[in-house]
């Protein structure tokens, strides 16, 4: 059964996409079941915008999202590879490279999209 966004999920979604007035996908009419795919596909206007949005996340928010991804509650399947690379970079820089590499493996298992070749090197 798809998950419903928790209060914490909704807070993170609002931090990433303050213009989001509700958690309903305009295209499908269904409630959002994840955080990153709608930000990437409905709100971010490009890679720089997506990078700025995920830059708003605290380390605690990032850890929470990483844990959701590990548990299968947060899907990466619809996140475009170039946006995923930006998210992985943020995780590697702030949480750790090992966690970012683990997310690459999870993304590859989901099998829906092109897998980034590797976690990008840290940004100095």
Residues 6+ apart with CB under 8 A from 88: 100, 103, 104, 116, 119, 120
What residues of the chain score a pLDDT lower than 70?
Answer: 1-2, 21-32, 110-124
Quick check: 89 and 120 in contact, CB under 8 A? yes
Task: With CA atoms as reference, report the closest residue to 77 among 26, 29, 41.
Answer: 41
Residue 12 lies in a domain: yes
* pLDDT computed for residue 22 by the predictor: 56
Domains in the chain, number: 1
Task: With CA atoms as reference, report the closest residue to 65 among 55, 56, 75.
Answer: 75
* pLDDT computed for residue 4 by the predictor: 83
Domain enclosing residue 94, as ranges: 7-110
Residue 89 lies in a domain: yes
Residue 64 lies in a domain: yes
Residue 120 lies in a domain: no
Residue 22 lies in a domain: yes
């Amino acid at each position: 059964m798809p998950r419903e966004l928790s209060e914490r999920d909704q807070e993170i979604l609002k931090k990433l996409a303050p213009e989001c007035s509700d958690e309903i996908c305009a295209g499908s009419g269904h409630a959002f079941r994840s955080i990153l795919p709608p930000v990437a596909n409905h709100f971010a206007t490009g890679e720089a915008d997506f990078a700025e949005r995920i830059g708003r996340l605290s380390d605690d928010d990032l850890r929470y999202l990483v844990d959701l991804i590990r548990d299968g509650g947060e899907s990466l399947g619809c996140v475009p590879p170039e946006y995923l690379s930006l998210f992985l970079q943020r995780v590697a820089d702030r949480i750790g490279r090992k966690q970012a590499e683990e997310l690459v493996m999870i993304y590859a298992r989901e099998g829906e999209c092109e897998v980034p070749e590797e976690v990008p090197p840290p940004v100095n």
